[in-house]
Amino acid sequence: MISSLLNWIKDRWFFANSFFPIQLFLLHLRRSHLLIIFWLILFAFIGGFMAESYGLSYLFLTPEYLDKVNFVSYFIVGVSGGLFVMAFHISSYIYYSYRYPFLATLSRPLWKFSINNSVIPVLFIGFYLYQVIDLLLREGFDWMSIAINTLGLAAGGLFTILFSFSYFISTLKTLDIPEDGSKKAKALKPLQNIMMPATKIGSRSKTHINYYMSGMFKIKLTRHAGHYGKKVLLETIQQHHFSASIYFVILILLVIGLSLVGDNEVFIIPAGASVFLIFSLYLMVTGAFYTRLKTWTVTIGVVVLFALNYFSGFERFASLNYAYGMNYETERADYSYANFEALTNDSLVKYDKKQSLQILQNWKAKQDESKPKLILLNVSGGGLRSALWVTKVIQEIDKATGNQFYPNIHLITGSSGGMLGAAFLREVEYRNRKGNLDVNLQNDTLLTLMGKDLLNPVTFTLAVNDLFFRLKKVEYEPYSYPKDRGYTFDRRLNENTMGLLDRKFYEYKELEFNSQMPQMVLAPTIVGDGRKLLMSPQGVSYLTFTRPYAGIGREKEHSGIEFSRLFADQDADNLSFLTALRMSASFPYITPLINMPSKPGIELIDAGVRDNEGFEHSLRYVFSHKKWIEENTSGVIIVQIKANRANEIPIEEERVTKLDKLTLPIGGVMKSFHNLQIYNKSLLMELSREELKMPMDIVRFSLINEDKDVSLSWHLTNVEKQSILSTFQNKTNQEALKVLLDALKESR
């Protein structure tokens, strides 16, 4: 009995140990770490194990094409996913075909190798389809729609794979190797140099393969190749490598072609498809290096990356991202303490305050009350969710106040998506009041527009343009710039906002001065030193510094710098307002960090790094004009529209591993980053309550709570959009609305 059991186990173990699919799978786990990394990242993306809060999985699970989730969008993602699967098979074939001489004896060798190499792809496809079906069910799709969409995904993948194999099968139908060794590999020299063919055959293979899959459900014994000379077998494998190198060239040409036609929205593929395309090309590039460098690939790759990183620090080799409309050809702006002092001298500060008081007078002249409430609007960052949430909240408040709320707003501060939404509504309200626009603040079209995808075209441009070939130029008179994904973001935002924001920066100066529009202060963060770049067409020098206690060594602490004056000689006024909004909403890795024409050079990142809601600027403004506000208003109302995390900081016990302890010093600071802003805001509130003699109400409308989680992304699913729109009706926000209405009544 025991002997029979042992023999049964031995037979099965022998079969598994000599079965080609299992051997390839184990070989990948043991040696193909560079290839496996790509698969692990994709598993993490799709399963929500990586970047879950950024909604990255939705780019694969509910892809959009031409603003629709349907058969076509899934088909395109399937096509791109099929490219990645083929890139994996081809790279694996180039890596390991020389280990298995019997492959040279087979007809359609790559096809049969790929069947045996499909353990990882099959596991991934099964996991992918499960995740798609699960999400579509949660999104409320019916079974027919789910079936059609998953069919589109599968059909796209099969189309690419079968089309790719048709090429290899047509060029390598059978090898017909003559025993005299007369068969020669015919490969063009340039393509041979792309994929270096194997130089040995079977020299490292220590495992004998007895069985392989010749079809989807067919298992055959391997054919003995010993009677063929090693030279003949090697030349046969080299011929296959030549065909694989052609596939690599076709993939590069595809990327170049898409970059050239990317201005046409028909060719802008879903973001998930763009990721597959990036990975396919990187995987093939990795394969090209590996075939030449073998086990030196990682070592030399690390050295090359360090070298590229070093040289990229020199301006000659740097790949810059530009602020469209500014002059990069003239002398650079002086970014120094001496210039900070010059731009905040007493005469400039006095002049700016005088002008600001005149704007306040112009604002008051348009109010119905003798002592109106001064309304300041703070809007938080949070990508597209924030833009949509700001739109919804302002619509509801304006409706509850009989369309009297928004015209009374004097100042808007904040960051990222919140400022996009606020800027759009500012234009809508102004143009509607002037009779130049049929859409008013209450129109549901605004919600539809603010919920439209911004991510797909940006990711597409990243894939086919920014990572490889920045071939195209864009014109923003009178200057020309290389096209990057930032420009694509600007154009898409312009489409989503009906073209209303396509203005130059200076065009808002007179409108704000005459109080025809609320003032808006953008405040992207300077990466190197953490200062704010305050962007306003009005003079705001008085907001850029504080005066420390005497005796500490300096008169001013410059926490910011004024954009318009610092870059006056670099055409600051000519800056595209769309680009200005993007400067304040530089989502890490998605939109590029803009390089400013200064010396030394500075880069800009999201305004939320310093002050996610603009609360600090609001208080600075109030303190700067507190005497006028006390005499001419009945108080201040700061309306905060928050789409970032809740203010209540959770207290949790976390399991800390040995590896966690290595990253805890840095990771702990990053994790506490939002909490630090909460503590600082609480301190500012307490100080302002003690120092200001006027009534001041702070009313907060919050999107995020413990029960709600919406992606921090430039892409939202339909369920997320509905969740955002319904949140205004919850108890917390309805109570906030009542507080706001009561505060507004006090001025009447």
Q: Which residue has the tokens 């109030």?
A: 622
For 216-332, strand residue ranges (E) read: 218-221
Cα distance between residue 270 and residue 63, in whole Å = 6
Identify whether residues 234 and 280 lie together within a single domain: yes
DSSP 8-state code for residue 481:
E
Cis omega (within 30 of 0) on the bond before 21?
Answer: no
Question: pTM here?
Answer: 0.87
* Other beta carbons within 10 Å of 266: 8
Cα distance between residue 543 and residue 555, in whole Å = 15
Cis omega (within 30 of 0) on the bond before 63?
Answer: no
Q: Is residue 75 domain-resident?
A: yes
* 334, 322 contact by CB (below 8 A): no
For residue range 364-383, what is the model confidence (pLDDT) as tens digits? Answer: 999 888 899 999 999 999 89
- β-strand pairing of 218-221 with 409-414: unpaired
Q: Is residue 676 domain-resident?
A: no
Cα distance between residue 363 and residue 43, in whole Å = 55
Mean pLDDT of 408-414: 95
Supply the pLDDT for residue 655.
61
Identify whether residues 282 and 398 lie together within a single domain: no
Which of 237, 268, 296 is the C-terminal boundary of a domain?
296
Identify whether residues 337 and 273 lie together within a single domain: no
CATH number for 456: 3.40.1090
Q: Is the pLDDT of residue 185 over 50?
A: no
Which of 296, 313, 342 is the C-terminal boundary of a domain?
296
Q: Which residue has the higher pLDDT, 211 or 655?
A: 211
CA angle 327, 535, 424 (to 5 degrees): 105
Whole domain around residue 376: which residue ranges? Answer: 333-364+372-647+696-746
Cα distance between residue 251 and residue 269, in whole Å = 15
* 131, 81 contact by CB (below 8 A): no
Report helix, strand or coil for 100.
coil
Q: Is residue 64 domain-resident?
A: yes
Query: What is the Cβ-side half-sphere exposure of residue 401, based on CA atoms within 13 angstroms?
Result: 24
For residue range 686-707, what is the model confidence (pLDDT) as tens digits? Answer: 777 777 778 899 999 999 876 5
> Which H or E run contains 441?
none
Total number of domains in the chain? 2
Q: Is the pLDDT of residue 206 over 50?
A: no
- 362's tokens: 């112009």
Query: What is the Cβ-side half-sphere exposure of residue 59, based on CA atoms within 13 angstroms?
Result: 33
Cα distance between residue 396 and residue 734, in whole Å = 10
Cα distance between residue 14 and residue 297, in whole Å = 33
* Residue 80 burial by Cβ neighbours in a 10 Å radius (0-12, 13-18, 19+): buried
Cβ neighbours of residue 355 closer than 8 Å, sequence gap 6 or more: 513, 538, 539
Identify whether residues 474 and 597 lie together within a single domain: yes
Identify whether residues 633 and 736 lie together within a single domain: yes
Cα distance between residue 656 and residue 665, in whole Å = 12
* 101, 225 contact by CB (below 8 A): yes
Q: Is residue 139 domain-resident?
A: yes
**Minimum mean pLDDT range among 200-214, 470-484, 579-593:** 200-214
Q: Write the DSSP string, 638-691.
A: EEEEE-SS-SSPP-------HHHHHHHHHHHHHHTHHHHHHHHHHHHHHHHHHH
Backbone φ and ψ of 474, nearest 5°: -125, 150
Q: Is residue 654 domain-resident?
A: no
Which of 267, 296, 325 is the C-terminal boundary of a domain?
296
Q: Is the pLDDT of residue 295 over 70?
A: no
Cα distance between residue 482 and residue 594, in whole Å = 13
For residue range 212-266, what is the model confidence (pLDDT) as tens digits? Answer: 888 777 888 876 655 454 555 556 556 666 666 677 777 778 887 887 787 888 8
Identify whether residues 349 and 251 lie together within a single domain: no
The dihedral of CA 181, 182, 183, 188: what is its sign?
Answer: positive
Report helix, strand or coil for 19.
strand
For residue range 557-585, what is the model confidence (pLDDT) as tens digits? Answer: 899 999 999 999 999 999 999 999 999 99
Listed residue (423, 579, 573, 417) closest to 486, CA to CA: 579
For residue range 47-104, what is the model confidence (pLDDT) as tens digits? Answer: 988 877 778 889 899 999 988 999 999 999 999 999 999 989 888 887 787 777 777 7
Identify whether residues 271 and 338 lie together within a single domain: no
Supply the pLDDT for residue 188.
41
Identify whether residues 492 and 345 lie together within a single domain: yes
Secondary structure of 155-208 as H, E, C letters: HHHHHHHHHHHHHHHHHCCCCCCCCCCCCCCCCCHHHHHHCCCCCCCCCCCCCC
Identify whether residues 403 and 506 lie together within a single domain: yes
| Reported confidence tier of residue 315, pLDDT bands at 50, 70, 90 | low
Q: Is the pLDDT of residue 195 over 50?
A: no
Q: Is residue 614 domain-resident?
A: yes
Identify whether residues 387 and 443 lie together within a single domain: yes
Q: Is residue 2 domain-resident?
A: no
Sheet containing strand 602-605, edge to edge, reads: 560-562, 532-534, 525-526, 602-605, 594-596
Supply the pLDDT for residue 270.
93
The interaxial angle of helices 109-116 and 71-96, nearest 10 deg, is: 100
Q: Is residue 83 domain-resident?
A: yes
Identify whether residues 281 and 376 lie together within a single domain: no
* 462, 274 contact by CB (below 8 A): yes
Q: Which residue has the tokens 């949660």?
A: 138
Identify whether residues 484 and 568 lie together within a single domain: yes
Whole-number average pLDDT of the chain: 83
Secondary structure of 375-412 as H, E, C letters: EEEEECCCHHHHHHHHHHHHHHHHHHCCCCCHHHEEEE
Cα distance between residue 559 and residue 568, in whole Å = 20
Cis omega (within 30 of 0) on the bond before 600?
Answer: yes
